[in-house]
Structures are given as structure tokens and as C-alpha cells.
Amino acid sequence: MFLKNCWYVAAWDHELIDGKLLARTLLEEAVLLYKGDSGQVVALQDRCCHRGVPLHLGRREGDCVRCMYHGLKFDASGKCIQIPGQEVVPPKLGVRSYPVVEKDHLVWIWMGDPALADPAQIIDFPYLRDPQWKGVPDYMHYDANWLLIVDNLSDFAHLAFVHTKTLGGSEEYAYVTKPVAIERLPRGFRVERWHMDAAPPPFHRKVLPAAEKDRHVDRRNIGHMHIPGIFFLESMFSPAGSGSEKGNREGTREYRNCQFMTPETRRTTHFFWTYLNNYEGDDHNVSRSLHQSLIEGFLEDKHLIEAQEKVLDADPGFKMLAVAADAALSHFRWTFDKLVAAERADEAARQGAEPKSIPIRAPHQAGLGA
Amino acid sequence: MFLKNCWYVAAWDHELIDGKLLARTLLEEAVLLYKGDSGQVVALQDRCCHRGVPLHLGRREGDCVRCMYHGLKFDASGKCIQIPGQEVVPPKLGVRSYPVVEKDHLVWIWMGDPALADPAQIIDFPYLRDPQWKGVPDYMHYDANWLLIVDNLSDFAHLAFVHTKTLGGSEEYAYVTKPVAIERLPRGFRVERWHMDAAPPPFHRKVLPAAEKDRHVDRRNIGHMHIPGIFFLESMFSPAGSGSEKGNREGTREYRNCQFMTPETRRTTHFFWTYLNNYEGDDHNVSRSLHQSLIEGFLEDKHLIEAQEKVLDADPGFKMLAVAADAALSHFRWTFDKLVAAERADEAARQGAEPKSIPIRAPHQAGLGA
Amino acid sequence: MFLKNCWYVAAWDHELIDGKLLARTLLEEAVLLYKGDSGQVVALQDRCCHRGVPLHLGRREGDCVRCMYHGLKFDASGKCIQIPGQEVVPPKLGVRSYPVVEKDHLVWIWMGDPALADPAQIIDFPYLRDPQWKGVPDYMHYDANWLLIVDNLSDFAHLAFVHTKTLGGSEEYAYVTKPVAIERLPRGFRVERWHMDAAPPPFHRKVLPAAEKDRHVDRRNIGHMHIPGIFFLESMFSPAGSGSEKGNREGTREYRNCQFMTPETRRTTHFFWTYLNNYEGDDHNVSRSLHQSLIEGFLEDKHLIEAQEKVLDADPGFKMLAVAADAALSHFRWTFDKLVAAERADEAARQGAEPKSIPIRAPHQAGLGA
């Protein structure tokens, strides 16, 4: 049910400051994350190989961790390097370690075959390291399967019904427009929508100077969704009629939104996100207001999606019914299912006969970087 | 395990005022109940056919309801009549609707085959619509199978042990009397018990004028239990020795009690009830006192029955053991099991071969009406 | 999974004062415990044979108990002796009773075949009845399998890592010493450890007079673990170098610690314990301080062990890995598994063919008594 051989966001880097031993379940595996004294981020199976006590109840020592039940010590690779009361440590003794990469304030983890873990496959979102783009990195826990959140982000149709008073979307407009076409990608999709000459949506209106609050805007949204559940959204708000569709950027305010859905279990999700703007300068209240507005909007989604999860749990036989607006999510799920099936086939083949070569992987979908 | 083809109480009518979207699980199905602008009560499957979001999180529009995730709109028959973003709605698209009847302040629902739903089969309890009979309609939620509550109401024996200080029942009397005979009915039973020349039970004594509190009474109880779990009790308290057993009603105070047990799940029950009197006139404190006394008594039952449910859950193999006092409940369960078996056989036959005729149903057990 | 044919601690005797009906689940069976008017302790299945209501919701009458749903009455042997509403009680009607023995403030119960219950097999711990030894009997509930607590008590190695600041144990010392040899017994083990010339551990230091707090001590611990989960620990603290290892007891302070692990379910445990000293005289604050210190230490264990239980629950396939310090627990579990297997074989044989003789049992492991 999970795709193993891909990179997932495991944490924001600020979750690991001060040597914290962070226990986090990812894809139904208990993982311990910490940053060692050397600066290296370590991800180990969160279970001592001796009696099964979680290692996050232990003590960090340099880049190592010691189980504080009977004192076994493990290095950053998971190898056991000390057992109090005995001189010899069997060389193969240890716990599983996971490939992990810290990049642009995110900690990425590879839950599958370590031999296939290529850091170059990590999707790039350069705005996270660009000091001109400002925002508040945050986290939300969902009692729902991560694909239901991916679904939610895959259509603009729900904006009108769920977010009218927060993130915007006009109900009248929803009845008379058709869904925009999506661009199908090997590992996701791209969607672009223009909404010309409309009132600014509430979250944007809040941060505008008084003189601009009632001026219409031309709004452009470009969304990218990537396997396994990574969403980037570029938004531009230009003065209505200013010709932004022809490339004029004067008076334009822009946002960059990223959201990372990482399965905790099949029924719960880690949701990492930030919403960046490039115009606040030193006025941090813009970031703070946008952060609050987005939380408000996300809670509207969360309320529905968690209710949806309960309904689906109650009747696993229920078949959802596709409507025209579902093209994007249908493509994403079809793509995702194919990748999972291929991974399972690989696994089965490897278990049946030792593979003669590492299977060739398609080049990874490029990021959004300039 | 449930009997589908019969009428169940789904709600009191006051639960649907002001257009409320009431979510209620009945026989392990999630149902949405509401009263449309036309005054019609509507019962729909509480799950949008698109992505499974519960419809009770939606918005009522006239007699229709709109899912507030992507805006699909359903009419009172469950048919989908609008999908934002597309012009054509497939004609068979929709959610299940349930036959529903509002009568004498109760909302009745038919969970089985709609073709068999005959409103004439709804049991009549005329006191609910007679303004001379007054009381407070109420609801209690039980963490127990509804048949355990039916069992409880099927014997007078437990009164002495559970309700001595509330609804009455003398322990000494219980040791020396035999259970009264019951009248077996095709879909339930009738039981009548006279208890002559005894102190008034606590709940009745409370509402008596001071001068009558210590006078003995002749008490007559007539109980009716109906499939699937509908209980009516007529009670008369006459001055001891006044000849009420020969028809003299002078100085008699009467009560009419109705209780409706509707399975929520196999382990939980909706319990609707009211306790009516015909003598309070404008003194609502009589109703209020009786209401409080009955709640006190019901909580005594609930405490035991919910403990019993846990015991039965812990060991599904436990066989209850019948004693002489169990004649009524034994007959009820035997009758009920036969009806369920017949229903299952009908279903199986229909699935095997398209039935040539609707099976003939026995005429429904008549109500208690005058 | 449980060993049935052995004695378990079911309660402290103070839990049964004033006729209390104590409901306690033991080895996943619901048991009712009470002390009758005659002084006899009674243990019955906590489920009325009529409708399954728990008997602990009933009423004690002398040595009997009455179910307060319909009034059935059971004597101390579990036999039903009264059914209100009928004159004849079927002679075999009743609930299961369990052999039970009150001894030295403990209530012991036999959950297996009553024919095999021999009170002489109850392990003797004479300090519990000796007024010179003083302490506070107590109880703790564990959300963990009882064998995980047995494991914990089976090694001294964890003291250094879990209890450094409470019960003592030096981390430096743990790295340079080897586990002490254990003495394997047919139904458990004995372990003895001397720790010479060290600072007194925190719990002991707290109760020392100021002048002694900083003097080194020679510490001797003798632990006994018995099937099914009974732990005795004798501790002596002598002035360092005073020759206690040669028998000199001058200036020695001693403790007697007993802990009884009784499975509630496979995942939860009743933990009865007391920690006795022989020197407090009339200064009850010594007992109180030791009691508090031990609770502090036990909570350190409980925190780890309950986390361990969750980890094991999450992956039943996880194989623990033995280290050198595990000799005691490995022997105990091996012994225990053999006894369970023998018990199962006996049962199977008895069910296959009526046994011709009661199987011969090995003489029970003697207690610690002088």
C-alpha cells in the first residue's frame, strides 16, 4: 500500500534542535530521528534489538544513541558498539538505519531499499532556501490516509464549497465553469488556472494595504503534485487588466506554497507545509497573517477529510465515483498504483531469485526551481 | 442479526426542528435525517456517492441537501441533481433513501426493502396525540444490544431488585409470588399484573397529595412488547379495595408509558421514551417529577445492562440460562429469531432467482388504541 | 499462554475489608472476591449464570452473594440456592468457584483444576507475618505482560541505567563488571550479588542518620524468582570493610522486598509489593520514605516496560536477542514454557481419555523462611 523506494519528508530541521530524540512513525515503521554532534542527521529503527524498548527513551551520545534499559549503544549506522557486561559485541548486531538527507530545512528519509536511495532524486523547491521568500514552516497531524489529502489538493473545485470565506473560491463561478485541463506527468501532474478580474480572496485581502483591498485582481495558480504526496503551488495576484497573462509583473504579489504528505500509518498522515511570500520585507505580520489564514483553511479541509476517512473505514467496499473535476486525482492515483505494483513486482522477483542487476529507474521528475 | 423489514423509531420530531441535519446510525447504517422546507421528513444514506464525505456536513437547500466538499446536490429521493463543473448528471447517480413517516411526534423509518414499507403497519399509540395525556419525550443512549433492554422490560421480576427505591417492587413479595402468565402474540406478548393493597411505589408517591401518600393502592399493569423492540405499559393506581378489578375507576390515577428500542449497532441502542399521565391538568410539575423518577429508574437498568453487555462481549460463547420468570423474553426472542430467519430466507431466494411475487406478510399486530 | 495450575496472588487482605465485593480479572477470567461473615474468603466467577450480569454489582449476604438483577443467590461454593419466583433450584445450577487461601495478608487463588490445588504449595515469605519487619503493602497496575516485569527483576544490569538516581546502580561499574552467576532452580532461580565499598544508593541514603549518609557500605543482594512471577529480595547494607561477607552483622541494616506479578490479561498485570525493614522501631517515616522511593523506582521501570509492551504488540514477529546479562530471565522463561507445555499436554490427555491417575507433581520450591 505504501511506495517504499522514494524520498519522504520526515521532519522540519527545527524539530531536531538541541539533540532531541524525535520518535516518529513513518509508513507504519517506528523511526528515531536525531542530529548527532557532528551535525549528521541519523534515522534508526526505534526499537532496541535486545528487549525491544524504544530507543527514543534512550540517551544520545555524540552521533550514537544508548538504550537506557540495559545500556546497549548504537552508532549512526545502527551497529551495536557496546553491551555492558560483555566484552564481545557480535559484529552483525544492530538496528536498521535509514538513508536520510537534510536539505533546505527539510529532513528527507528513504524507507525502501537503501541501495536505491539517490539524493539527486529529492525534488527541489528552491524558494525554501531563498531568503527573499518568507514564511512559517509548520506541521499538522491528520487522522486520514495521505491520499485523501492529495485528492483534496488535486482539484480547485472544492475551494468554492469548503473555503469561500478563507482561501477563496466563488460558488456562483463554480456552477458555470468547467474544470481546467491538467498536464499529466510520469510521476504526478501540473495544473494551471487563471481567474481574471475578481475580488481578492479573503486570505490575500487581509494582508493588502487598505487602498488595494477592494481592487479586483487577476489570479494565476500553478500547481504541481508529485509522487508520493508533494504539492507545490505558485500563486500570483496582479491588478485586474494589467496584462499579467502577457507577462507584465508590475504590482504583482506572489506566493509559493509547499505541502508534504507523509504517511504515518494507512489511516494517519504527517502534513508538513509552509506558505511563502516574496514581498513582506521586514513586516513579519504578513507571514503571520498568511500562516493563520492557511491554518484556518486547512482546518476546513481536515474536518471534512477526517470525516471522510471514518466513512471509508466503516465500509471498505465503498467505491468512490469519479466526476469531471477528478481528472487530476484520478491520474495521480493511477500513476501511484502503477509505481506500487512495479515495486511489489521487483520485490517478488528479488525474493524469488537474486536479481542480476538493479532495475533501471526512470529519471526523477524535476522540481520547480528557476 | 437485525430485522430489516419493519418500522423503527428514528427520532422524535423535535430533533428535526429548524432544518437540522441529524446524523444517526441505525442498524449499523449511517443515515441523515432532516425536515425539508415542504415539511416532508427525508432520510438519506449519510455518504456522498462522489468521495464518501458525510452529507450531514453539507447544507440543506429546500427539501434537498448539498454536499459541501465539491457541491453535489441530492433531492429528497436521493437522486443527484447537480454536479458543479459538469452539465450532465448521470440519471442513476445518487444515494440511497429510506421510507420515512412522521406520526404522533415520532419519525419512523423502514430500513429494509422499500417495496414492502406499508405505513399502515406502524403501531398506533394514540396517547401520543391526545392532549389529555401529558409527559416529556426523551432519549437515552445505551452501550448495549437493544434485545438486552427488551429482556429487561419483559419481566416484572427485576423491579424488586433493581428499582425498590424508585419505580417500586417489593423484595419480600418477589420471594413468595410466581411470575404472571403472559399472552403470546405473533409479534410479541401481552402481560398483565395486579398487585393489590400495597404502599404506592416511590415514583407515584412523590406526585400524590400529602393526604394520599400513605394510603394503600391496588396497582394494575398491562404491558405490550412488539417486534422489533416497542414497549407500551398501561398503569392504574386505584384506592385499595375500591373495586378497580371489577371496573370501578373512581379515584384512579393512570399512566401510559412507551419505550422504543432502535439498534444503533449490535452493541448500542437508541432508546426513545415518554411517560404520560392523564391527571396533571396544568400542574406540569407532575410530568417533571415523573420524568425525573423514570430517568432515575432507567439509569439503574442502564448500569446493569451495560455491564451485562461487556460480560457477553467478553465471552460470545456464554449461554444464558432461562428461569421461570423468563417466559416473556424467551417467547419474544423466539419470535424475533423466526422473523429474522424468514427475512434471510426471502433475501436468499430473491438473490437466487428474481422473485415472482412479493411475499405475503401477516397482518401487523394492532396497537393499544381505544 | 498462562500457567493455570499454580497459586497466584489475587489481592492484599486489606482490599476485602468491610465486606467489599472486589471485581478483579485474573488470567483473563472475571473473578469476584469477598470475605464472608464467617471470615472465609470467597472467589467466584463474576458472572451470574442467568443473564450474565456481573455478581460484583450484587449484594453480599453472609458468605453468599445475590445477583441484584433478578435476585438469584449463590453460596460460597458457587451453588445457586435461591431463584425468586420459582420453588425448585436445579441442583447443578451455579457459577464456578476458585480455591482461595488467605495467608500472611495475601489472598492466593488457584485458577486451574481445583483437584490439584494444594495450599502447601504456596510459597512462604515469613517476613510478612513477623511484626519486627515493617512496611506498606501496595499495588500497581501495569499495561504490560507480567513476564516483562519478571524479566526486569531478573537482572541487576538495568539498575545502572534505569535507577541510578533512585534505587542505585553505578553506570561506570556496569561497564566493567560481568553479570553474576545465577543458581538455576526447577521453578525459578536464585541470584546473589555483592557490591563492596560503594556509596549507599539514594533510597537507602535517605533514611540514614546524617552521620552515616556519606559512609561507604558493603551491599549484599539475594534474589529469588519463582514461577509464575514471585520475587523475593533480601538486602543487607553493612559498613564497608566490617566483614559482613564473613558473617559479621554489626551495624547492618536489612530489607526484605517481595513482589507478586499476577497476569490480569496477556497485556496487563496486577503488581503487588511491599518493602520491609527490620530496624525502624517506632519511626514509621522510615517505611514511608522507603515506600516513596520504591514507587519512584518502579515508575521508572513501568515507563520503559509499558513502552516495550507497545513495541512488542506492534510487531508480534519481533525476536528478542539475548545478551550475557539475560541468563536469569532466559532460564526462567525456559522453565515457564516447559511447565505450560506440560500443563497443556495434561489437559489434552485428559480431554482425549479420562485420566487414570492424577499426574505426579514435583515438590514445590521451598520459600525463603528461616
Q: How confident is the model at residue B354 (pLDDT cuts 50, 70, 90)?
A: low
Helix (H) or strand (E) holding B22: strand B22-26
Q: Is the pLDDT of residue B364 over 70?
A: no
Tell me what percent of the residues of chain B surpass a pLDDT of 90: 85
Contact C157 A84 (CB under 8 A): yes
| B178 C-beta neighbours (distance < 10 Å), count | 11
> Quick check: C365 pLDDT over 80?
no
Place of cell 557532528: A38
Confidence (pLDDT) at C84: 93
C322 versus A46: the higher-pLDDT residue is: A46
For C174-203, the pLDDT digits (tens) are 888 887 889 999 999 999 999 999 999 999
What is the mean predicted confidence (pLDDT) over B91-104?
A: 96
Strand-pair category, B182-185 with C7-12: unpaired
Nearest-10 Cα torsion for A74, A75, A81, A83: -20
3-class DSSP state of C263? strand
End-to-end CA distance of chain B: 34
pLDDT computed for residue C366 by the predictor: 31
Contact C53, C67 (CB under 8 A): yes
Sequence-distant (6+) residues with CB within 8 A of A35 are: A13, A16, A17, A19, A41, A42, A102
CB–CB of B70 and A323 under 8 A? yes
What is the Cα C178 distance to its own chain's centre?
Answer: 28
Query: In the predicted model, is pLDDT for residue B358 greater than 80?
Result: no
C interface with A, Cβ–Cβ below 8 Å: 151, 155, 157-158, 160-162, 171, 174-175, 177-179, 303-304, 307-308, 311-312, 314-315, 318, 320-321, 323-325
Q: Which chains touch B (3 or more CB pairs under 8 A)?
A: A, C
Closest CA to A50 of A73, A77, A23: A73
Interface predicted TM-score (ipTM): 0.90
pLDDT at site A276: 98
Percent of chain C with pLDDT strictly greater than 90: 85
DSSP secondary structure of B124-167: P-GGGT-TTSB---EEEEESS-HHHHHHHHT-STTHHHH-TTTT
E-only strand ranges, B199-307? 217-226, 230-239, 253-265, 268-277
Instruction: Name which of C180, C321, C332 to mutate to probe chain A: the one with the most chain A Cβ atoms within 10 A of its Cβ.
Output: C321
| Torsion angle, alpha carbons of C66, C67, C69, C70, to 10 | -60
CB contact under 8 A, C57 and B304: yes
- Give the β-pairing of A59-61 and A41-45: unpaired
Q: Which residues of B touch C30 (CB under 8 A)?
A: 311, 314
Sign of CA dihedral C314, C317, C318, C322: positive
Q: Among the listed ranges A159-173, B194-208, C60-74, C91-105, which one has the minimum average pLDDT value?
A: A159-173
Backbone angles phi and psi of A291, in degrees to 5: -60, -45
pTM of the model: 0.91
Tell me the pLDDT tens digit for each residue of C338-358. 999 999 999 999 887 654 444
Reduced to 3 states, what is the DSSP secondary structure of residue A179?
coil
Of B117, B31, B110, which Cα lies nearest the Cα of B78? B31
> Residue A139 belongs to what H/E stretch?
strand A138-142
| Cell reading at A336 | 501511484
Check residue B168 and give its pLDDT. 85
Residues on chain C bordering chain B, Cβ-to-Cβ distance under 8 angstroms: 30, 47, 49-54, 57, 66-72, 82-86, 93
What is the C-alpha separation between B44 and B64, in angstroms, rounded?
10
User: Which residues, at least 6 apart from C354, have a Cβ–Cβ distance to it below 8 Å?
Assistant: none
- What is the DSSP secondary structure assignment for residue B337, as one 8-state letter? H
DSSP state at residue C20:
-
**Judging by DSSP bridges, how do beta strands C41-45 and C29-35 pair with one another?**
antiparallel
**Contact residues on chain C for B314, CB-CB shorter than 8 A:** 30
Q: How many residues does chain C have?
A: 370
State chain B's mean pLDDT as an integer: 93
C-beta atoms of A178 and B83 within 8 A: no
What does the pLDDT read at residue A178?
82
DSSP H or E segment with residue C237: strand C230-239
The β-bridge partners of A193 are A221
**Environment class of C152 (CB within 10 Å of its CB; exposed 0-12, middle 13-18, buried 19+):** buried
Pairwise CB contact (< 8 Å): C53 & B320: no
Query: What DSSP assignment string belongs to C274-328?
Result: EEEES--TT-HHHHHHHHHHHHHHHHHHHHHHHHHHHHHHH-TTPPP---GGGHH
Q: Do the beta carbons of residue B291 and residue B299 sit within 8 Å?
A: no
Domains and CATH numbers, chain B: 7-121 (2.102.10.10), 126-329 (3.90.380.10)
- Please tell me the predicted confidence (pLDDT) of residue A354: 55
- Grid cell, residue C369, equals 523462611
CA distance B26 to chain A (A): 14
Joined together, the cell numbers standing for residue A133 give: 521568500
Contact B52, B145 (CB under 8 A): no
Retrieve residue A115's grid coordinates: 541501495
Per the CB < 8 A criterion, the answer to whether A55 and A95 are in contact is yes
Tell me which amino acid residue A312 is. Answer: L
C243-281 CB burial, b ≥16 within 10 A, e <16: ebeeeeeeebbbbbbbbbbbbbeebbbbbbbbbbbeebe
Average pLDDT of span A67-93: 95
Report CA Rg, chain B.
23
**φ, ψ for residue C352, nearest 5 deg:** -70, -50
Burial class (CB in 10 A: 0-12, 13-18, 19+), A202: middle
Question: Which of the two residues, C364 and A15, has the higher pLDDT score?
Answer: A15
Exposure b/e, C120-142, CB count within 10 A at least 16 = b: ebbbebebbeeeebbbbbeebeb
DSSP assignment of C209-227: -GGGTTS-EEEEEEEEEET
